[in-house]
């Protein structure tokens, strides 16, 4: 495997065949190039076709936000940014695409994504600058009643950690499929009762952490129990009763993009089911660590939780 070391590109492995195959010499331009000194460099994708163009859906992203990257050409590719990398997937209209997630802990300021794509034996790289804007996190003080005798304590750090680890390992997986369509869909009507990234204090404890999802609830005065719908096409990766998140469904949208739906009163899909955008997957409920019925909705990209609301309000350019 060959690691590209061009400026701004982290280690990127292409198949070894790239070193062995030569582009067939069939046009005069190829003959002219054959006179050039032999050097260990990959042939440029742009030399035989349109130049590589890559664009981001917006010029800036908030901490906890995301951008959609698209290229005009390429059969495979990789984007390296903020010390991470993400594989590009074929886009419906041609070229490649991927979502780039900005975590709550990524530093505000200038950043860039180095995008390398390949077609056959040809590769090309372009660097895209973008800006990370600081997010002003909200703070919420929450009181949770003690658990019923015999019930597990959802505030027990060991339980909280075990459940977080379960989801983290799920969200870190990258399946080969690509199922999503744009625009993404809000999974439930109602009011927003908790924002992504919110810092919280439980029962007078220290303020800390960042809320990993968006809470949506049926307005007070109406009967809760709204239908919860899949925000996009995908395959159900998890459908279980968890202690903190209660009845939870996670949908794998492919390419390392997942959505999670928690605290439901019931689940109507099972792991392995294919779901279409808008399919009902459960019912708004109050299972797990809650003060009332609501949906906790989260989106993870490449293992990083991002603000799901920004995926449906158009502010990220998709
Ligand atoms: Zn929540």
Q: CATH number of the domain that 58 lies in?
A: 2.60.40.10
Same structural domain, 302 and 284: yes
Asked whether residue 318 is assigned to any structural domain, the reply reads no
> 76 and 215 share a domain?
no
List the one residue out of 273, 198, 191 whose CA is nearest residue 230. 273
Task: Check whether the bond before 290 is cis (ω within 30° of 0).
Answer: no
Mean per-residue pLDDT, 131-158: 85
Q: How far is the CA of 109 from the centre of ligand 1 (A)?
A: 28
Q: How far is the CA of 309 from the centre of ligand 1 (A)?
A: 13
d(CA 307, CA 134): 14
Q: Which two tokens stand for residue 174?
A: 């990258």
CA distance 27 to 173: 44
Domain boundary among 108, 133, 158: 133
Say yes or no: 55 and 182 in one domain: no
One domain for residues 7 and 120: yes
Answer yes or no: is 316 within a domain: no
Same domain, 164 and 22: no
What does the pLDDT look like over 214-228, one tens digit per residue? 999 999 999 999 999
Same domain assignment for residues 55 and 195: no
Same domain, 220 and 84: no
**Once rounded to an integer, what is the mean pLDDT over residues 269-298?**
96
51 Cα–ligand 1 center, Å: 45
List the CATH number of the domain containing 285: 2.70.70.10
**5 or 64, which is more confident:** 64
Q: Got the DSSP string for 72-83?
A: SS-SEEEEEETT
**Nearest alpha-carbon partner for 250 in 265, 235, 263:** 235
User: Ligand 1: distance of its center to the CA of 211 in Å?
Assistant: 6
Q: How confident is the model at residue 46 (pLDDT cuts 50, 70, 90)?
A: low
Please tell me the distance between residue 5's alpha carbon and the centre of ligand 1 in angstroms: 42
In which domain, by residue range, is 198 found?
139-311
The pLDDT of residue 48 is: 67
């Amino acid at each position: 495997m060959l690691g590209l070391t061009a400026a701004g590109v982290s280690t990127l492995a292409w198949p070894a065949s790239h070193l062995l195959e030569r582009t067939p010499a069939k046009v005069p331009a190829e003959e002219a190039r054959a006179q050039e000194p032999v050097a260990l460099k990959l042939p440029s994708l742009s030399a035989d076709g349109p130049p590589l163009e890559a664009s981001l859906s917006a010029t800036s992203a908030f901490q906890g936000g995301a951008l959609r990257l698209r290229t005009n050409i390429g059969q495979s590719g990789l984007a390296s940014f903020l010390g991470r990398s993400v594989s590009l997937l074929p886009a419906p209209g041609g070229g490649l695409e991927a979502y780039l997630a900005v975590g709550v802990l990524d530093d505000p300021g200038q950043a860039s994504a180095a995008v390398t794509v390949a077609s056959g034996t040809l590769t090309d790289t372009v660097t895209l600058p973008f800006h990370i804007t600081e997010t002003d996190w909200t703070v919420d003080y929450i009181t949770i009643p003690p658990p019923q005798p015999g019930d597990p304590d959802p505030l027990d750090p060991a339980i909280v950690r075990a459940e977080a680890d379960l989801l983290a390992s799920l969200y870190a997986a990258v399946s080969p499929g690509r199922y999503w369509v744009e625009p993404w869909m809000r999974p439930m009507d109602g009011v927003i009762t908790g924002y992504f990234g919110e810092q919280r204090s439980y029962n007078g404890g220290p303020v800390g952490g960042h809320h990993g999802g968006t809470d949506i609830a049926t307005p007070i005065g109406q009967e809760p129990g709204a239908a919860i719908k899949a925000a996009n096409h995908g395959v159900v990766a998890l459908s279980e009763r968890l202690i903190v998140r209660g009845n939870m469904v996670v949908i794998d949208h492919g390419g390392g993009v997942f959505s999670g739906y928690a605290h439901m009163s019931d689940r109507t899909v099972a792991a392995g089911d294919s779901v279409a955008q808008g399919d009902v997957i459960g019912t708004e409920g109050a299972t797990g660590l809650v003060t009332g019925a609501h949906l906790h909705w989260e989106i993870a990209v490449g293992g990083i939780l991002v603000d799901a609301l920004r995926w449906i309000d158009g502010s990220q350019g998709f």
